[in-house]
Amino acid sequence: MADYDVIVIGAGLGGLSSGAICASRGRKVLVLEQSDLVGGCCSTFEKEGYHFDIGASIVEVVDSLENAFAAMNTSLSDELDLVPCDPIYDYILKDGTRFQFPISVEETADVIRKVAPADAEAWPRFASYMKEFMALASDAVFGSPMVTMGDFARMFVKYPALLKFGELFTSSYEDVIKKWFKSSAMQQTTAYQAFYVGLPPELAAGVYALLGYSEHEGTYYPPGGMIQIPKAYQKVGERHGMEVRTGARVDRVLTRNRQVEGVVLADGTEITSKLVISNINAMTLYLKLIGEENLPWLARVGIKSYEPSMSVPMIYLGVDYKPELEAHHTLITRPLEEMDDYWYNIYKKGKLPDDMFSLMCWPTETDPSLAPEGHHVVNLIMTPGPYRLEGTDWDREKEAYIEKSIDFVSRTAMPGLKEHVKVAEISTPLDFERRLLHPEGAIYGLQQPTTATMVFRPSAKSKSIKGLYLSGASTHPGGGVPSAVGSGIIAADLIEKYE
């Protein structure tokens, strides 16, 4: 008799949501998390009275969050408080032009008429095209398992209306955006989001161009910090008997004859189960925890063909003044071509940029209790940061990088910032690797070009090891808060179907 029905490795969103759903369906579930916090990239830590989100700073497209709660016979509104963030962005272009995009598509059109009149007509058409695609895709594409080519083909049979959007499956993100928008302002404000799937616009898959619209369906922040989202799934799971152990690193997945038998923790403890859900990076899972020697050759070749996703340095600032910001998110953006150029000529070459396109998150605008009274929290997500730096490393560079970034932001977006910083912390790509065991600090699991998307991503039901399931950013539908939760539903449903 095994110790547990299901063991989940990692208490990220994919792990907690899949574990909680399995528990609500009567299975005895244990979640093992190596760090002392749940939530992984979607978590929050405290320092000197300031509460900093480790990674994710907002959630948009909450359908999958709703669906995961519904699968446990409860609802998002009963379990989690989410406050809308409106405007979505305060944009600052290279020439200093500054404007905000509100949630409302119509009010956004008013802004576009002023800042990019050439695209004023295209915007409402783009929005309604992507709205229609999203209505279909949230179930057909992002909410469905993509285990076999049959699943992919069935998607079009079950949802023939998707054929109208065929070009999104065969084009790049950049192709889609350039087809719709002619002005640099619109191209960059709708293309930056390609980095939310970990690639520049030229390399990201066309289906993700919906991100330029999806934020207008609602962008939210949970009071108390992003950790409230994983905690909500933990709480519901625990009501159904799910156990969560922090400080418990899994070092091995035990297999016999390519069937899961359990796991071994870093302290040598062996825990048995015939079912394991992995919420960790799929390359680490297969190549280290299971071991190449236990994989069929095709699986070995397959998993080695992926690359870890991009990383990013994130700076956490506690400040003793109210920053002059207009929105939860301020985006210093650059022309689309410069984003692509940055990828090839700076990021890929292991260099650090002088000019940074960056995202500033101001969570205390939404929840002042995240900082001492009169103080604020500002998190800076700087340009993608290479894991390997040319001629140096992040531990040597980080203090100078914090200083340079604060200086850059003081000059371009938040005058006076430099004089008001009380606490400054950073997660470099190396720190993300140490904190969350993400190889090369990969913040979205694996890179996600078209060739590693949907059915081409590591499968939620392992094809080489029986009893092994995957949830989280490394499997379909990929990185991001809603996708990670969506992957949790898919893994739990597959277990229900096959086990």
- The shares of helix, strand and coil residues in the chain, as percent rounded to the nearest 5, are 45, 20, 35
| Contact with ligand FAD (CB under 6 A) among 177, 276, 280, 346 | 280
Task: Name the β-bridge partners of 255.
Answer: 260
State yes or no: residue 85 binds ligand FAD (CB under 6 A). Answer: no
13 conformational bin, left if phi > 0, alpha if psi -120 to 50, beta if neither: alpha
Q: Are 319 and 175 in contact (CB under 8 A)?
A: no
Q: Least Å distance between CB 117 and ligand FAD?
A: 30
Give the chain's length.
499
Which of these ranges, 115-123, 132-140, 366-374, 474-482, lies near ligand FAD under the rule CB under 6 A?
Answer: 474-482
**HSE-CB for 345 with a 13 A CA cutoff:** 9
State yes or no: residue 88 binds ligand FAD (CB under 6 A). Answer: no
Could you give the string, one character per residue 229-258, with x where binding to ligand FAD holds by CB under 6 A and - elsewhere? --------------------xx--------
What is the full DSSP assignment across 184-200?
HHHHHHHHGGGGGGTS-
Q: Least Å distance between CB 158 and ligand FAD?
A: 26
Between residues 12 and 206, which has the closer beta carbon with respect to ligand FAD?
12
Between residues 115 and 209, which has the closer beta carbon with respect to ligand FAD?
209
Q: Least Å distance between CB 316 and ligand FAD?
A: 11
Instruction: Give the pair of three-digit tokens for residue 371.
Output: 């900082």
Angle between helices 394-412 and 429-436 (to 10 degrees): 120
Between residues 112 and 378, which has the closer beta carbon with respect to ligand FAD?
378
**Spatial separation of the C-alpha atoms in residues 274 and 255, rounded to whole Å:** 9
| Contact with ligand FAD (CB under 6 A) among 8, 186, 430, 443 | 443
State yes or no: residue 480 binds ligand FAD (CB under 6 A). Answer: yes
Which of these ranges, 30-38, 350-358, 418-426, 460-468, lies near ligand FAD under the rule CB under 6 A?
Answer: 30-38
H/E element, 330: strand 329-332
| Contact with ligand FAD (CB under 6 A) among 19, 40, 201, 262 | 40
List binders of ligand FAD among 317-376 (CB under 6 A). none
| Contact with ligand FAD (CB under 6 A) among 30, 314, 406, 470 | 314
| Contact with ligand FAD (CB under 6 A) among 162, 205, 315, 381 | 381
- Nearest residue to 382 via CA among 310, 446, 328, 452: 310
Which of these ranges, 22-30, 51-59, 75-83, 127-135, lies near ligand FAD under the rule CB under 6 A?
Answer: 51-59
List binders of ligand FAD among 57-76 (CB under 6 A). 57-59
Interface size with ligand FAD, residues (CB under 6 A): 37
Where b means 16+ CB within 10 Å and e means fewer, 85-94 reads: bbbbbbbbbe
Where b means 16+ CB within 10 Å and e means fewer, 322-354 reads: ebebbbbbbbbbbbbebbbebbeebbeeeebbe
Task: Name the β-bridge partners of 91.
Answer: 99, 331
Between residues 65 and 122, which has the closer beta carbon with respect to ligand FAD?
65
State yes or no: residue 313 binds ligand FAD (CB under 6 A). Answer: no
Instruction: Give the pair of three-digit tokens for residue 336.
Output: 């689309």
Chain contacts with ligand FAD (rule: CB under 6 A): 9-15, 32-35, 40-42, 55-59, 249-250, 279-280, 312, 314, 381, 436-437, 443-445, 472-473, 479-481, 484
